[in-house]
Amino acid sequence: MIDLLIVGGGIVGSWLAYRAAERGMSVAMCDLSHRPGDATSGRNSGVLHAGIYYKPESLKAIHCIRGYALTLEYLQKNNVPHTVCGKLITTGQQRGDEAEARLQALLENARSIGARDLSVIRNVEKHYPGVKGESALLSPHTGVCDAAAYLRSVQNRAQQAGAFWLIGRKLVALENQADGVRAILQDDEGRQEEVVCARAVNAAGLYCDEVAAMVGLGGYEIVPVRGEYYRLNKPHPVNMLVYPLPDPNSTALGVHYTFHPGGDAYAGPNAVSAESKEDYRITQSARDFAASLSHILDGYTEADLGPGYAGLRPRLRIDGQDYRDFYIHRQDNCIHLLGIESPGLTSAASLSETVLNQL
């Protein structure tokens, strides 16, 4: 019997495998994909969030703040490409008292969560040519990393620490038993194998609800919400991430300007309902994206945008109600990680610490 089976080799499962193997546990990680993490962990903005938007005391707030520090330390130590470029959240084309009040509320929320060194910039256009807005919140510690390189690095560390991989194996059944957990994995050709372990962790991202249902946990549903990106043909001279003030009626942060440490610049992500958990199409037009971007930045027209990529947010519903936080469900010998959407990349190092302590 092995100590721990982790279902899902994205950034969360990989961090957990790394930590558990380092502590001397025998760890197996299974992933249905031959390229574990090519789902959400490989399809995001790569932003190291400094903790601005989340409800105080929520798991998102706690793990974003702690995860930011742990991730930055990890990236530095392991030479993973990243940059602490800073970020502006600008009122953009929104003018007047209401926009100012929302910016102020965001600042107060971020400070109460524990985000550091924030300030409000007035006359944004004067200080940051090309950025629109009367006022902006400056977060100097927000950064961006090469998400694919980060994931590969943690996966390699996990393997070096002794975790072994069961790649191209889909978990198809899970059963709590008196002294552990019994799992059935299936490969692409339909061959099945049994794994018996003391504990199992469900880190299956978009499919965490289906894994939870295997052990009788109903009531959880993941609704995939797609975030599409367009690639920009030139980086903006401001060299910082630029976001709009978030729309109070949306859970997404709004189409923003972002770039990868290698230099590629993007506009996105939007938030559109996906038809399935594999629906990675780009459906919104370049014209719409250019229009959204023009609310916060000068310098781009539709002709500057080419199709980029899309990712799926694993949005959680519990008993039919939207749930806006990460959710950790402990049950017998299993721990289920549910609704790990943004800031999951930033939070993974911290979340895995908590899960390991609970194990």
Ligand X SMILES: Cc1cc2nc3c(=O)[nH]c(=O)nc-3n(C[C@H](O)[C@H](O)[C@H](O)COP(=O)(O)OP(=O)(O)OC[C@H]3O[C@@H](n4cnc5c(N)ncnc54)[C@H](O)[C@@H]3O)c2cc1C
Cα distance between residue 113 and residue 92, in whole Å = 24
DSSP string, 228-253: EEEEESS--TT-SEEEEPPPTT-SS-
Nearest Cα residue to 311 out of 229, 233, 244: 229
- Tell me the three state secondary structure of residue 274: coil
Q: Alpha-carbon distance 209 to 306, whole Å?
A: 34
Selection from 70, 86, 75, 72 nearest residue 259 by Cα: 86
Shortest distance, CB of residue 229 to ligand X, whole angstroms? 7
Q: Which stretch binds ligand X (CB under 6 A): 72-80, 116-124, 232-240, 344-352?
A: 344-352
Binder to ligand X among 255, 341, 356, 359 (CB under 6 A)?
341
Which residue's CB is nearer to ligand X, number 53 or number 300?
53
Return the residue of 5, 6, 9, 148 that touches ligand X, per CB under 6 A: 9
Query: Is residue 86 close enough to count as binding ligand X by CB under 6 A?
Result: no
Contact between 274 and ligand X per CB under 6 A: no
Q: Give the nearer residue to ligand X in terms of CB position, either 99 or 154.
A: 154
What is residue 134's three-state secondary structure? coil
Site for ligand X contains 346 (CB under 6 A)? yes
Q: Going residue by residue from 140 to 179, which x/- string records binding to ligand X, judged by CB under 6 A? A: ------------------------------xx--------
> Which residue's Cβ lies closest to ligand X?
344
39 binds ligand X (CB under 6 A): yes
Residue 333 in the binding site for ligand X (CB under 6 A): no
Least Cβ distance, residue 186 to ligand X (angstroms): 9
Tell me if 21 sits within 8 A of 163, measured CB to CB.
Answer: yes
Pairing outcome for strands 241-244 and 170-177: unpaired
Q: Is 41 in the site for ligand X (CB under 6 A)?
A: yes
CA–CA separation, 11 vs 337, rounded Å?
12
**Cβ closer to ligand X: 21 or 345?**
345
Q: Is 115 exposed, middle or buried, given 0-12, 13-18 or 19+ CB atoms closer than 10 A?
A: buried
Q: How does strand 192-202 pair with strand 334-338?
A: parallel
Least spacing, CB of residue 202 vs ligand X, in Å: 9
| Using rule CB under 6 A, residue 10 touches ligand X | yes
Q: Which is nearer to ligand X, 133 or 344 (CB)?
A: 344
Is residue 352 involved in binding ligand X (CB under 6 A)? no
Considering only residues 180 to 209 of the shown chain, the ones binding ligand X according to CB under 6 A are 203-207
Binding mask 43-62 for ligand X (x = CB under 6 A): -xxxx-x-------------
Kindly determine how many residues on this chain lie close enough to bind ligand X according to the rule CB under 6 A.
41
Applying CB under 6 A, which of residues 6, 21, 28, 32 lies at the interface with ligand X?
Answer: 32
Q: Which amino acid is at 64?
A: C
Q: How far apart are CA 290 and CA 272, in angstroms?
A: 17
Cα–Cα dist 274/281, whole Å = 9
Q: Which of 139, 346 has the CB closer to ligand X?
A: 346
Closest distance to ligand X from the beta carbon of 291 (Å): 20
Query: Where are the strands (E) in 8-68, listed by range?
Result: 27-31, 47-48
- Which are the contacts of 26, defined by CB distance < 8 A and separation ≥ 6? 2, 3, 4, 162
**Contacts to ligand X by CB under 6 A:** 7-13, 30-33, 36-37, 39-41, 44-47, 49, 170-171, 203-207, 211, 227, 269, 311-313, 340-346
